Structure 1
């Protein structure tokens, strides 16, 4: 993939861009095999690759510049805006939304936040696109000062972006490197974006996490479902379940599935998805994954864990080791924490694994590992 921003030195976020894509994937495969110790009884499936461009379903654009000439992109070393509206990582429907959004900043007179001066209102524009080219747009503001103007001019934005389904304002008053704040104001009739993944519609609410690449996420869920159907567990827990991607894909007649997630927003979306799909043996609870496991009277047959980069941690790893759970599917976005967690669960040995390149042109990747009790 060629990128004019990279060639000009304007943006260097894609640190591996100068390497041919097959070499990127091979390097990641070698990296994860080395971290996991490459045991001889671990079977590696062929890696899942991505398209080299247009794969990201979400843009997190820092807003800079001025009201009359806003930039959507990143900040330079001095904290000033660098416009990246032409970034090739985004699919056409998302890219096409950026110019109207920049025009909306001007029309609604929303002053971009000036980081060095600590003044202004609009910090970020967050845009998510579905496989059906529908959009969710979130404006991260320092306060609600511009809210009335945003509401006034929202019909103009809806006309400019016919695919706009969900629009909201998030309030983040702190001058800190924290993307969003605790308060969300939904401005549209719809409060969820429908993400069509394989045979399911996942309902993504404003503050819910979803995988970066919809196509690679679909492959991830298909592989987990295939392994689960082969193992035929009667009960499954999906810990750190997010919007329910694993739990909903692993559902089957006679199989009881429980999803646990700290984000109440994500749980609401997951429950809606289960209801839409008519899945009666799938339920979701808002809560801490470790606390849910430690507080349960009986462990399930299979546990799925999809933690953040820090991993599941020693407490949950210790519970899994002692629980008697026969099978664990561990989906990790950080192989270092995965290796650390595996060392704390010596009775659960990795049997099968697959690299999924969710983040081309960077050193990051996803890896799905099937652990079986020895």
Structure 2
């Protein structure tokens, strides 16, 4: 029998009830039995939606009109919230955002991990969920012959010009504005993200949340930037707290922001910040959580789940610049961190020295390669912490954890779907998923960070 075709086509207007929410914050509903993911829609709403994309088993649509609004719906305070692709949940009251994020996590464990009974605790939110970011990557473009900088419009490479963002603190806004204005005054050609022409691609700004130190990274297509000295002088004069100005060359025709070639133009190679009573050096390519107050909550949850007494050996896979490892080192016998990025390991070692921590060792490599070697050398960790990228843990690493049999695994994740997938694998290998604590590191977006505690039921 010939399979039936989808009941909708791109451009169609349809009415449907929204019954769920997807991991990206889109509402989920069914039209004549066909699943539609509707951006801008919320559970328990009835909407009129315009279909924009159709696949064999699902389609994507956008809200044309809300016919019966959810009690969670609110007016976005940002004037460009609808056009900008940065905030996807500003149309939801903050308490409602936390409820939706818990639902996303619980749905992932029920649907993907097939563990519907795992306790998912209420999301830890912020008292003031605005101006929390310590890093921003702003694309530069051209509009009507003038240089603009802001964020990409949703689903496009068109730059929405912004002179302020409610998620950015004042020093960050000042730095972006200074580069934008100075580059326009000096005639530095902005980058065209479609034709891949021009010079200035992105402005990346990092801010020490507690120190106030600012790093400005100019992402360009060539090291021969016209009027570069004048641009550096303008940034120094206009940005309070600037301590580092860096040039990064990215010639790739891709959406990756930073290229491989980095050169210090002025100031220091790093800025500093303080987190959990420790001081950290942050270089241009360092991974460092973007919301420091919530990161402290996150790491405190990691520490509680690790349940350290001072006698344990801890392994921190995907250790980055050593933030989690160094927080735990004060409560453990010894900590071993592994990370594939050499610059991050260098920063981790520097951060250990900066804080006088001598019981932490860091090594460059893939965790799935290094942990078996450490095991062969006699290392038997009591606790393993994993904090992988969005794609989750490499399967060989999960298999290694099953063989290592640590008493506890503490899994930190920015992607509930891959967290649930990996927890299923570990559960099949003898671990019990005790509970999951979501933490809202990214208010007004659909992203949610989680900490999951797994205990080994087969500890030797």
**Aligned counterparts of 2:405 and 2:158: Cα–Cα separation in 1:** 54
The answer on 1:185 being equivalent to 2:263 is yes
Aligned counterpart for 1:200 among listed residues 278, 299, 320: 278
Residues 1:339 and 2:339 aligned together: no
Is residue 107–residue 153 contact of structure 1 (8 Å, CA) maintained in 2?
no
Q: 1:95 aligns with which of 148, 173, 177?
A: 173
Contact 2:245 2:264 in 1 (8 A): yes
Note if contact 2:322-2:348 (Cα within 8 Å) is conserved in structure 1: yes
2:124 to 41, 44, 48: 48
User: Does the 8 Å contact 1:317/1:345 carry over to 2?
Assistant: yes
Q: Deviations over 1:109-159 (max 9, x none)?
A: 321112333321111101111112211111111111207x32344233212
> How much does 1:204 deviate?
1.1
Matches within 5 A, 1:146-161: 146=225, 149-161=227-239
Q: 1:268-315: CA deviations, max 9, x gaps?
A: 211111111110111211211111112222331111000001111321
- How do 1:222-233 residues align onto structure 2 when only pairs under 5 Å count? 222-230=300-308, 232-233=310-311
Higher RCO (C-alpha 8 Å, min separation 6): 1
Alignment map for 1:273-284 (pairs within 5 Å)? 273-284=351-362
Determine the structure 2 residue equivalent to 1:121: 199
Map of 2:105 onto structure 1: 32
Alignment partner of 1:234 is 2:312: yes
Map of 1:69 onto structure 2: 146
Deviation at 1:320, TM superposition (A): 0.7
Instruction: Report if aligned partners of 2:140, 2:190 keep a CA contact under 8 Å in 1.
Output: yes
Secondary structure at 2:168 match in 1: coil
Change (3 A) 1:114 1:311: same
Residues 344-363 of structure 1 aligned to structure 2 (within 5 Å): 344-346=425-427, 347-363=430-446
1:253 Cα deviation after fit:
6.4
Q: Is the 8 A contact 2:311 2:332 kept in 1?
A: no
Q: Relative to structure 2, which stretch is displaced further, 176-185 or 151-160? A: 151-160
Q: Of 56, 78, 101, which aligns to 1:3?
A: 78
Which whole-Å deviations, capped at 9, do the CAs of 1:40-68 have from their partners, x for residues lacking one?
87555542213321111111100012798
Cα separation, 2, equivalents of 1:251 and 1:67: 54
Q: Which runs of 5+ in 2 are unaligned?
A: 1-75
Give the corresponding residue for 2:217: 138
The answer to whether the 8 Å contact 2:135/2:290 transfers is yes
Q: Secondary structure at the match of 1:52?
A: coil
Aligned 8 A contact 1:67 1:110 in 2: no
> Contact between 2:102 and 2:120, CA under 8 Å: does it hold in 1?
no
Secondary structure class of the residue paired with 2:195 = coil
> Could you say if the C-alpha distance between residues 349 and 164 of structure 1 is closer, same or farther in structure 2, counting changes exceeding 3 Å?
same
Q: Which residue of 2 aligns with 1:288?
A: 366
2:404 aligned residue: 323
CA distance in structure 1 between the aligned counterparts of 2:439 and 2:165, rounded to whole angstroms? 22
Q: Distance in 2 between matches of 1:260 and 1:183?
A: 24
TM-score w.r.t. structure 2 length? Answer: 0.76
Within the candidate set 168, 174, 195, 2:246 is matched to 168
**Larger helix proportion of the pair:** 1
Q: Which runs of 5 or more structure 1 residues have no equivalent in the other structure? A: none
3-state SS, counterpart of residue 338 of structure 1: helix
TM-score by length of 1: 0.92
* Correspondence for 1:58: 135
| 8 Å contact kept, 1:240–1:262 | yes
Cα separation, 2, equivalents of 1:43 and 1:230 = 22
Q: CA deviation at 1:39?
A: 5.7
How many pairs does the alignment contain? Answer: 371
1:244-263 → structure 2 map (5 Å cutoff): 244-252=322-330, 255-263=333-341
For 1:212, the equivalent position in structure 2 comes to 290
Seen in structure 2, the aligned counterparts of structure 1 residues 293 and 30 have a Cα distance that, compared at 3 Å, is same
Q: 1:153-186 deviations in whole A, cap 9, x for unaligned? A: 4233212113111211111112222212111111
Larger Rg: 2
